[in-house]
């Protein structure tokens, strides 16, 4: 049985006037990593929020989301809250804003434990420090008492990862987890995510607009365009034999090393002009 099953998902904003996700269906098996790529505004993040049940009240949604056979779409808020943070968790894009500025980071990580398990204060603190250590933060016992603004972007993203991995979830939805980081930190955080996902045998829906990053982390990939999946399959196959012109464009623009010096750089529009599919 699949871990996550998304069936005919549609999401509308603006009182149904603009459709952001169109008839999206896919599934993720336990431990499987699925990449979701596409440009800004293609509906990737909205898909993630829809799975988590975090869409704003103004959004309309149809279709079903099942996690381990249980229906998440249309479930009661309390039921969803129980699953969130324990069975399925989310890593947000912006480490600068994903942490509460008024709360010490240790308490924010501890919150995940307190919400789902009985744990004494001392035991909780020990687990938090252990987790901060695991995600590669130096002086974890000092960092646990720091406020978010006292940490760098990379450190904050490690804290966000620690929150997402704390209780050993079965599915982690990572929404552009490295986009806001510089390239060296990005590589470190990806490595960490790779190791931790493997250690927990957690599945992952990895959202990105960066082909290279997706190729590093995932086995399967879906290409999303204007709310629709236009191509999907194993990463290697999609990258070597892209079928859809949009995918070909994405790959060409990512391989700048193949461009001849002095010639114009390729753009997605050279391959795919847009318009109706």
Please pick, from the candidates 99, 214, 215, 251, the single residue that binds other proteins as defined by CB under 8 A: 99
Q: Rounded to whole angstroms, how far apart are CA atoms 149 and 156?
A: 9
Please pick, from the candidates 35, 38, 43, 85, the single residue that binds other proteins as defined by CB under 8 A: 85
Nearest to 252 by CA among 233, 275, 268, 264: 268
Least Å distance, CB 59 to other proteins, is 13
Least Å distance, CB 166 to other proteins, is 9
* Cβ neighbours for 33, distance < 8 A, ≥ 6 positions apart: 197, 203, 204, 206, 217, 218, 219, 220
Please pick, from the candidates 16, 101, 138, 261, the single residue that binds other proteins as defined by CB under 8 A: 101
CA distances from 84 to 11, 42, 176, 191 (A): 21, 25, 19, 24
Q: Rounded to whole angstroms, how far apart are CA atoms 186 and 192?
A: 10
Does 112 engage in binding with other proteins (CB under 8 A)? yes
Does 23 engage in binding with other proteins (CB under 8 A)? no
Q: Per the structure block, which two tokens stand in for 47?
A: 């898909």
Is the Cβ–Cβ distance between 160 and 99 less than 8 Å?
A: yes
Please pick, from the candidates 32, 47, 89, 186, the single residue that binds other proteins as defined by CB under 8 A: 89
Does 90 engage in binding with other proteins (CB under 8 A)? yes
Least Å distance, CB 222 to other proteins, is 21
Where in 34-73 is the site for other proteins (CB under 8 A)?
Answer: 49, 52, 54, 57
Closest to other proteins by CB, 85 vs 249, is 85
Where in 131-160 is the site for other proteins (CB under 8 A)?
Answer: 146-147, 149-150, 160
DSSP assigned state of 264: P
Least Å distance, CB 101 to other proteins, is 6
Q: Bridge partners of 111?
A: none
Which stretches does DSSP call E strand in the chain? 4-13, 18-28, 33-37, 60-67, 70-71, 88-91, 171-175, 203-208, 220-225, 228-234
Nearest to 71 by CA among 83, 59, 58, 60: 83
Does 103 engage in binding with other proteins (CB under 8 A)? yes
Least Å distance, CB 241 to other proteins, is 36
Please pick, from the candidates 66, 116, 200, 216, the single residue that binds other proteins as defined by CB under 8 A: 116
Least Å distance, CB 163 to other proteins, is 6
Max Cα separation, the chain? 64
Least Å distance, CB 243 to other proteins, is 34
Least Å distance, CB 77 to other proteins, is 8
List residues binding other proteins (CB under 8 A).
49, 52, 54, 57, 77-78, 81-86, 89-90, 92-94, 97-103, 111-112, 115-116, 146-147, 149-150, 160, 163
């Amino acid at each position: 049985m699949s871990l996550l099953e998304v069936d005919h998902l549609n999401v509308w904003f603006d009182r149904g006037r603009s459709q952001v996700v169109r008839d999206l269906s896919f599934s993720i098996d336990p431990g499987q990593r699925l990449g979701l790529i596409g440009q800004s505004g293609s509906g990737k993040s909205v898909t993630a929020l829809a799975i988590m049940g975090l869409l704003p009240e103004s959004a309309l949604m149809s279709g079903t989301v099942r996690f381990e056979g249980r229906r998440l779409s249309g479930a009661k808020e309390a039921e969803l809250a129980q699953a969130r943070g324990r069975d399925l968790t989310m890593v947000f894009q912006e480490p600068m804003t994903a942490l509460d500025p008024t709360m010490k980071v240790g308490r924010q990580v501890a919150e995940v434990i307190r919400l789902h398990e009985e744990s004494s204060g001392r035991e909780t603190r020990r687990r938090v420090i252990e987790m901060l250590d695991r995600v590669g933060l130096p002086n974890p016992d000092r960092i646990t008492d720091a406020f978010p603004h006292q940490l760098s972007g990379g450190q904050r993203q490690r804290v966000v990862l620690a929150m997402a991995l704390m209780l050993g979830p079965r599915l982690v939805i990572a929404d552009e987890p490295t986009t806001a980081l510089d390239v060296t930190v990005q590589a470190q955080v990806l490595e960490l995510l790779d190791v931790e996902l493997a250690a927990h045998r957690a599945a992952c829906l990895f959202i990105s607009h960066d082909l290279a990053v997706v190729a590093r982390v995932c086995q399967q990939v879906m290409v999303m365009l204007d709310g629709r999946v236009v191509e999907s399959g194993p990463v290697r196959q999609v990258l070597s034999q892209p079928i859809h012109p949009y995918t070909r464009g994405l790959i060409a623009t990512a391989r700048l090393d193949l461009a001849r010096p002095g010639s114009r750089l390729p753009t997605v529009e050279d391959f795919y002009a847009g318009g109706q599919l």
